[in-house]
Amino acid sequence: MDAMTRSRMMSAIRARDTKPEMLIRSGLHRMGYRFRLHEKRLPGKPDLVFPSRNAAIEVRGCFWHGHDCHLFRWPATRRKFWQEKIADNIARDVRNREALLKADWRLAEVWECQLKGREKLPVQDVLERLAEFLDGEDRHSVIGKDQTVAVCEDA
């Protein structure tokens, strides 16, 4: 595809209200959990915030956050740009995670590949795991492989 079409398509991708995030939000709401969205006062503005439980949930897109799974593939063009972009996103995720945990918040991270693609889990299973996290006392939980891609510096 030409550069203009690709640029238009990439600029249309949203950071909020993504399909995976909406699945989690509607499912947890149906289960009786109430939350705030994208709390600006917290590091990284987590997708869902449960103030009474001191818990937050981040729904991570595998491409944008550099998840080491079948949904991630390095773009063939502008490799240096994309490696820097993804590396910055991964570093920011780590900083935000550490800041939240240091501030005594609990954090669950859900990877997109657990909600779509060949590694997909039943949505109800993901929701049940999140409910266990919210009702429990674990400080950090990850649904999906807890591994990001390696970024080469020589691109």
> For the segment 123-137, what is each residue's pLDDT rounded down to a tens digit?
999 999 999 999 999
Mean confidence (pLDDT) of the chain: 91
What are 12-59's pLDDT values in tens digits? Answer: 566 667 899 999 999 999 999 999 999 999 999 999 999 999 999 999
Q: Is residue 52 part of a domain?
A: yes
Q: Is residue 67 part of a domain?
A: yes
| Total-model pTM | 0.87
Question: Buried b / exposed e across 55-94, counting CB within 10 Å, b at 16+?
Answer: bbbbbbbbbbbbbebeebeeeeeeeeebbeebbebbeebe
Q: Is residue 28 part of a domain?
A: yes
Location of structure tokens 């994208």: 38
Q: Is residue 114 part of a domain?
A: yes
Residue 155, pLDDT score: 46
Q: Is residue 115 part of a domain?
A: yes
Q: How many domains does the chain have?
A: 1
CATH of the domain at 96: 3.40.960.10
Q: Is residue 4 part of a domain?
A: no
Among 25, 65, 52, 30, which residue's Cα sits nearest to residue 106? Answer: 52
Q: Is residue 69 part of a domain?
A: yes
Q: Is residue 121 part of a domain?
A: yes
Range of the domain at 88: 11-143
